[in-house]
Amino acid sequence: MGSLDGIKVVTFEHAIAAPFCTRQLADLGARVIKVERPGVGDFARNYDERVQGLASHFVWTNRSKESITLDVKQAQALDVVHGLLADADVFVQNLAPGATQRLGLDFETLKTRYPKLIVCDISGYGLNGPYRDKKAYDLLIQSESGFLSITGSPDEPAKAGCSIADIAAGMYAFTNILSALIERGKTGRGRHIDISMLESMVEWMGYPLYYAIDGQSAPRRASASHATIYPYGPFKAGDGKVVMLGLQNEREWVSFCETVIRQPELATDARFSANSRRTENRTELGRLIEQAFAELTAEQVIERLETAKIANAHMNDMHAVWEHAQLRARGRWASVETPAGEVPALVPPGMAPDSGYRMDAVPALGQHTESILAELGYDAERIGSLKAMGAV
């Protein structure tokens, strides 16, 4: 049994933030019913065709769910929604600002009818305040949160290569829902959760915010290097490959000088005798490190770093991650079914083989419409009528 077996989640979701949240609920055993627009569905279904014709984002965030199509602007379809909510535990949505209020599906409207229902709204900026109605996408939130101001090269900012603002919001939605379920077990009442992408990302920006407190200078953009610790970042070896390494303290700096670059005199060089000085003189120090590495292959550099007990990593691309020896050794790959066939998928982090997690199929658009309607008591004639009017 999964820890959320018996929990029913109804979700009006698209893109990444809400689907990532609800997929994790499904991983733990919850039944997740995804309401999609007839004929169109979640627009993330059409982002690309990289996974045997299916969209990479959609395959990642939508396994183990049931898909029902409903045109919720039609009264008959809205009746179906209320049929789903009647015994639901959680309602999640990340539609455009104001959409659920117009449908009468906001928390204030639902709480009287369904007092045990947990309602989680995910939006760019939250449900009140001057930015409430402002459109928000991942890159825009990376910008508003200050993330772009500290990420990239000194000459140009760079976005994160994955949707970190969506992921942050999805994770806070997930953990808040788990908390609300525990709370409901004590009080018997549901509650409202208002997740803001901006607030989620600003929480993750805690270190640079405090670093720049009281008008002090913010961390500089340092490409793939750490902005305030050095040496900490990528360095090229003699074979052209890049090694990532990071020093955390003065003991490691001495070991690095003696064992890795084999220039023990640098350990006491006044230019590099503390992290702040190494950071100030990173250009000169970087040149000395790469001169030392120029005579070595990347694997030889890593061997020396391991001997010196200095943290290090390969600069892997996506193909290398698929083949990562550590993930394979720990059995972290499984497979899931999709409408296009079986694909590999990472086992949810933290889940052990005996922990009852689910990795069921990614649904086709509307795949479960008829079975869910039948479960709600709709016979074939009524289902046919709903189809004829375009309500499903």
Residues 383 and 354 placed together within one structural domain of the fold = yes
- The answer on 131 and 108 residing in a single domain is yes
Which residues form the domain of 261? Answer: 247-315
In a domain, 163, yes or no: yes
User: What is the amino acid identity at position 78?
Assistant: L
Q: Looking at the structure, tell me whether residues 138 and 35 fall in a common domain.
A: yes
**Pair 78, 177 in one domain:** yes
Are 48 and 196 found together in one domain?
A: yes
CA–CA gap between residue 114 and residue 133 (Å, rounded):
27
pTM of the predicted structure, to 2 decimals: 0.91
| Spatial contact of 166 and 174, defined as CB atoms under 8 Å apart | no
Together in a domain, 339 and 273:
no
> In the listed set 273, 290, 315, which residue is the last one of a domain according to the structure?
315
CATH number at residue 79: 3.40.50.10540
Tokens 């658009």 correspond to 365
Sign of the torsion formed by the C-alpha atoms of 184, 187, 189 and 191: negative
As given in the structure block, the two tokens for residue 384 are 């046919």
Q: Tell me how many domains the chain contains.
A: 2
What is the chain's pLDDT, residue by residue, as a tens digit (392 residues)? 789 999 999 999 999 999 999 999 999 999 999 999 999 999 999 999 999 999 999 999 999 999 999 999 999 999 999 999 999 999 999 999 899 999 999 999 999 999 999 999 999 999 999 999 998 999 999 999 999 999 999 999 999 999 999 999 999 999 999 999 999 999 999 999 999 999 999 999 999 999 999 999 999 888 888 988 999 999 999 999 999 999 999 999 999 999 999 999 999 999 999 999 999 999 999 999 999 999 999 999 999 999 999 999 999 989 999 999 999 999 999 999 999 999 999 999 998 877 888 999 999 999 999 999 999 999 999 999 999 999 99
189 and 115 belong to one structural domain: yes
Q: Does any domain span residue 237?
A: no
